A and B are shown apart, each in its own frame.
Chain A
Amino acid sequence: GAVVSQHPSWVICKSGTSVKIECRSLDFQATTMFWYRQFPKQSLMLMATSNEGSKATYEQGVEKDKFLINHASLTLSTLTVTSAHPEDSSFYICSAAGLGTDTQYFGPGTRLTVL
């Protein structure tokens, strides 16, 4: 149980394009989903928290207009990196938590490379 998937697992795009990453909870309903980014040899940095049906809460320093988050259902959240630039290249990981629990289950991550 508690499986979270991400798609795509990796993506290469040109500078200026937008990239959408999907995060799905496969066997449970996730009232809250989280988006992290991770640079090499560093810990996870929380970007935003999203609750189903409401606007995401972004961490300080994360541009909400650049990283668009949609949590349209209890099993799907999407992160869209708009007008991507090389400095946006990173490993993006989502996690999901069920109702009333703090335990987060992580997806396998998406490696984004912006040329």
Chain B
Amino acid sequence: GQQLNQSPQSMFIQEGEDVSMNCTSSSIFNTWLWYKQDPGEGPVLLIALYKAGELTSNGRLTAQFGITRKDSFLNISASIPSDVGIYFCAGNSGNTPLVFGKGTRLSVIA
């Protein structure tokens, strides 16, 4: 079945630094989604990508759908304390269920 490899597993950064995380899949995806989950809450959609090469921004967040359709990255610029949380990538191809990465746990040191 489809597998997603998300890295890094965790990050400790200073406030103000930029952050980058990425996901790679074992097969081609038609959709890449990036979510953020705070403790005890459901994931919140950050960015949705639907086309290979697509680069989309949402405030300080930028995500790209890789040209090969097997990878995606999420960048956060000028991190702030409220960026703390777990970031999940997810993707699928066609009518298959979403596959989730294992998450990147982000800690921001003020």
Contact = CB atoms under 8 A, between A and B. Distances in A.
Nearest to A38: B37
A59 B44 CA distance: 23
B17 to A, nearest CB: 24
A42 interface: yes
B40 A111 contact: yes
Interface residues of B, number: 20
Interface stretch (A13-21, A70-78, A79-87, A98-106): A98-106
Interface residues of A, number: 22
Contacts of A46: 97-98
Given A102-B92, A106-B44, A107-B42, A42 B98 contact: no
B31 A103 contact: yes
A111 B31 CA distance: 29
B30 interface: yes
Nearest to A2: B45
